[in-house]
Structure 1
Amino acid sequence: MTSAPPSRPPIVPAAPPAGGRRVSLSTDPVVRALAALLVVNATGNGLFLTISTLWFTRGLGYSAPQVGFALTLAGLCGVLAAIPAGRASDRHGARRVLAVVHLIQAVAMAGYAVADTYTAFLLLACGVTAGSRANAAVRSALYAHSLPAATRAPALGLLRAVNNVGIGAGAALGAAVVALDRPGAFQAAILADAATFLLALVPLRKVPATQATLPPAHTGQPKAPSALRDGPYLLVTGLNAIVNTLYVVLEVALPLWLVNHTRAPRTLVGALLILNTLLVVVLQIRAAHRATTLPAATRSFRLGGILTALACAAAAAAPHRSPTTATVILLTAVVLLTLGEVTSQAGSWTLGYALAPDHAQGDYQGVFQTGISLTQALGPVLITTLVLPHGAIGWIALGAVFCAAALALPPTARRAEQAKTARFG
């Protein structure tokens, strides 16, 4: 999320055929451990996301431009963290590396409670964000090492639903902290979030300690193949990164669009995010069960990108409408966007794992996560400068980008699969 000898077989859930019975959280010990880890971590994340901006500006006293610069710099640091973390997972075992990452995150997060100089704030922001992106890459490697391919996508769908439940619970706690509006309450919440990284180490111990091993054909070679030299996989990573910009649309573009360009009530911003969270919890597992093979995953991803494009078109129609009509349009846009999210994510999981060699999953997942990190670092700037200022035309253009990426994915994935077969058999 320590590494066992390579000869030790991983403890994994029984693997039914793709499309067979669903992964059972109540009976599968590995999935249960991963779910417990995620719900603890996600609760802390939801808490932090709800209070962080207020704490940085009102509690620590930094201006909005200072906070924006720090978070932008932190995002770039995050881009640099995923690949080395993934490679370390292949070499030392994902569970051991994840434990180290959690310790780093706990220390960096706790520092936010007392970051009384801007230099310290910058360093902590970089540490927290780099830890977050490293965490994502290492967890992806852990899933590859501990979950069988036949049930991995359904298990990840279930875990993502659990993750959203945790974020929702944390956000509720954060709302209570905001309501109290006391510095001590904010500091206690920051420290509680830091403690979740340590608490999550308890279920992590129940996840099998495994690491990647080279297949016989590659034994004796000095290095495993690098994902950075795998052109077809990099293309898939890039297309996935483009469609992953949908999160920036949900969290940045739609709220700004609603507030500055429509007559919908401002309170709708929170309702849109809640609707998205609930729909993901309800729909993600089912969507994941339909994307367990590579052909099904490419179709799911393509559908997700197209639905996201339709969401952009819907959002473009919201200005110059009555408050009621604008509200209905924006709710429709979020429903379409969420359907695009759950279907594209279900396809993305299978694509990221199936197109990577088993003996270098950490390296490949690090690259895959780096693509996502780039969208998180650059997406807000690109959307606020290239999309929103151009109104409906900007939204239509953004939708066209999503659609093009979705349609380009299936042939690109086929080429990546052929390249993988040619290189690794």
Structure 2
Amino acid sequence: MTSRLIEDGPGRTLILGTLVNSLGNGAFLTCSALYFTRIVGFSPSRLGLGLTIAGIAGLFAGVPFGHLADRRGPRGTAAALLALAGLATSAYLTTASFPVFVVIAFLYALFERGAHAARQALIPAVLNADNLVRVRAKIRVVTNVGVSAGAGLGGLALLWDTGTAYRLTFLLNAVSFLGCGLLFLRLPAVPPAPRRTPGEPRLAVLRDTPYALLAVLNMVMLLHIPILEVILPLWIALRTGAPPALTAVLLLLNTLAVVGLQVPLTKKIEGLRSAVRAFRTAGVALLGCCAAFALSAGRGPVAATAALAVAAALHVYGEMVQSAGSWVIGYELAPADKQGQYQGLFNTGIAAVQMFGPVSLTLLLIDWGTPGWLVLGAVFLAGGLAMAPAVRWAEGRLAGARSAAATAA
């Protein structure tokens, strides 16, 4: 597996920077909730309210900071925003009151999501078409590895359960942001995009309806994220006879599958046609995943475990092919000189799903049960099938814009 992750030049730097940052993020995510409730003393409801307010910043940060990356150059913008996110993480250690916490959490979400948008603009700027999707696949693999390893470090802090141990994980996350930013500064310099032509809107992506549709469809498919993170443990405990420990086993298998299979699967997804097929395949796989979850309802330990294992396998396969397809579609259908703002919009779906997905899927799946799973499966299938006409529409719009630009030149 290690050999498959080796890259030369900019690809290696991107992968290494992502690994460093993911390590800190994994430790932070594992410990942050308990730090704020057990050490600082916030109630869970207040903590949830503060994080929801901060999530609004993450939801709207992508496009403007992506535009800033286009105008100022993605390398320096990404490095600066990563440094600011690291400083915001350090500022959490000074949190003593709820209003201060909300301000810091808001700034952390703003800088972290802004850095993500700038990073998405940096990736195609320093790579070529031949290795873009392959490196993205490897970035996803090392993200999983880093978060898992970081979670292990966070687990040590949970074991010690002291304020000092928790604070060390926050400092580790801060250093990981700074380290990632310094590594990105080793990448080739990327010139800013040309100035806007007279009459061209500042944020052109907000007027590109076909691309916005692509982003919405991708967001729909990203509803698979809360299934494992939020729904799986609740479903096992409340709706099946499977042992609760199965949650940990299925999460581990998901991580191992992504680490071992994401790169090989990506080799088959290179252009728009194969990316569209990937979304169609993901829709079918996730429909099957939802059906298997529905079949596990009310079953005993053996039958429920078997159904949930099938559901998890279909889930991770759909997740991997959808991710690879989204990288191709998101990059190829965005204007080359506006990758920052376009990637900012395309990846806003992640923030939206993380913010609204847990509540909406809990109501749909845990409260409604089997019918809810069938509805969600139909949504996945519809999203996967709708990507083909949406891509054709976006292709036509992009070709028309390029033709108009060539005529004007």
What TM-score does the superposition give when structure 2 sets the normalisation length?
Answer: 0.94
The corresponding residue for 1:131 is 111
Aligned match for 2:265, one of 281, 287, 291: 287
Equivalent residue for 1:184, pick from 164, 184, 191: 164
Residues 353 and 361 of structure 1 are in contact (CA less than 8 Å); yes or no, is this contact kept in structure 2?
yes
Residue of structure 2 in register with 1:253 after alignment? 231
Secondary structure in structure 1 of the residue aligned to 2:347: helix
Structure 1 residue 165 corresponds to structure 2 residue 145: yes
1:297 to partner: Cα distance: 0.7
2:315 and 2:51 map into 1 onto residues whose CA distance is 25
1:158 touches 1:285 (CA, 8 Å); kept in 2? Answer: yes
Q: Which amino acid aligns with 1:140?
A: Q
How many Å apart are 1:420 and its aligned residue?
A: 0.6
CA distance in 1, matches of 2:16, 2:40: 32
Residue 71 of structure 1 corresponds to 51
The superposition leaves residues 101-128 of structure 1 with CA deviations (integer Å, 9 ceiling, x where unpaired) of 1121111111222311111111122222
Alpha-carbon distance change, 274 to 80 in structure 1, aligned in 2, over 3 angstroms: same
Q: How does 1:55-66 map to 2 (within 5 A)?
A: 55-66=35-46
Q: Which residue of 2 aligns with 1:424?
A: 402
More displaced 10-residue stretch of structure 1: 253-262 or 351-360: 253-262
Offset of residue 345 of structure 1: 0.3
Q: Distance in 1 between matches of 2:134 and 2:106?
A: 33
Would the aligned equivalents of 1:224 and 1:360 in 2 still touch at CA under 8 Å? no
Most deviating of 349-358 and 73-82: 73-82
Displacement of 1:213 after TM fit?
3.1
Tell me if 1:369 matches 2:347: yes
User: In the alignment, does 2:7 pair up with 1:38?
Assistant: no
Question: Shift in Å at residue 221 of structure 1?
Answer: 6.3
| 1:340-378 C-alpha deviation (Å, 9 max, x unpaired) | 110000000000001111011111111112233222211
Distance 1:267 1:205, change over 3 A: same
1:83 matched to 2:63: yes
One-letter amino acid of the counterpart of residue 206, structure 2: L
Deviation at 1:260, TM superposition (A): 1.8
Q: Which amino acid in the other structure matches residue 306 of structure 2?
A: V
Query: Shift of residue 225 of structure 1?
Result: 6.5
Give 5+ residue unaligned stretches, structure 2: 404-409
Which whole-Å deviations, capped at 9, do the CAs of 1:60-81 have from their partners, x for residues lacking one?
2111111111122121111111
Shift of 1:150: 2.5
From 103, 108, 116, the equivalent of 2:96 is: 116
Superposed CA deviations along residues 3-39 of structure 1, whole A, max 9, x for unmatched, are xxxxxxxxxxxxxxxxxxxx97545111110011000
User: Once the two structures are aligned, what percentage of the paired residues are identical?
Assistant: 37
Alignment of structure 1 residues 97-246 onto 2, 5 Å: 97-214=77-194, 226-246=204-224
CA distance in 2, matches of 1:63, 1:262: 30
- Show CA shifts across 1:189-235 (max 9, x none): 111111111122332122112035349xx766665660111111111
In 2, distance between residues paired with 1:212 and 1:151?
Answer: 22
- Whole-angstrom distance in 2 between the partners of 1:114 and 1:258: 38
Alignment of 1:396 with 2:371, yes or no, is no
Distance 1:131 1:220 in 2: 30
Contact 2:290 2:377 in 1 (8 A): yes
In 2, Cα distance between equivalents of 1:103 and 1:254: 35
- Name the CA distance, whole Å, in 2 between partners of 1:389 and 1:154: 40
Alpha carbons of 1:375 and 1:61: their partners in 2 closer, same or farther (altered >3 Å)?
A: same
For residue 318 of structure 2, what is the aligned residue in structure 1?
340
Number of equivalent positions: 401
Q: Tell me the CA shift for residue 135 of structure 1.
A: 2.0
Distance 2:338 2:303 in 1: 51
Contact 2:79–2:180 (Cα < 8 Å) also in 1: no
Is this contact kept in 2: 1:224–1:359, CA < 8 A?
A: no
C-alpha contact 2:73 2:193 (8 A) present in aligned 1: no
CA distance in 2, matches of 1:283, 1:391: 31
Conserved? CA contact 1:225–1:360, under 8 Å? no
Query: What CA RMSD, in Å, does the superposition of the two structures yield over aligned residues?
Result: 1.8
Matched, 1:350 2:331: no
Structure 2 counterpart of 1:102, which letter? L
Residue 408 (structure 1) aligns with = 386
Per mean C-alpha deviation after superposition, the further-off stretch among 131-140 and 156-165 is 131-140
Q: Distance in 1 between matches of 2:127 and 2:7?
A: 14
Which one-letter code corresponds to 1:282 in the other structure? G
Deviates more, 1:196-205 or 1:239-248: 196-205
2:407 matched residue in structure 1: none
Q: Tell me if 1:47 matches 2:27.
A: yes
C-alpha separation between the residues in 1 aligned to 2:344 and 2:337? Answer: 14
Name the structure 2 match of 1:19.
none
**C-alpha contact 2:278 2:325 (8 A) present in aligned 1:** yes
Q: Could you tell me which amino acid in structure 2 is paired with residue 255 of structure 1?
A: P
Measured in 1, the distance between the counterparts of 2:107 and 2:313 equals: 34
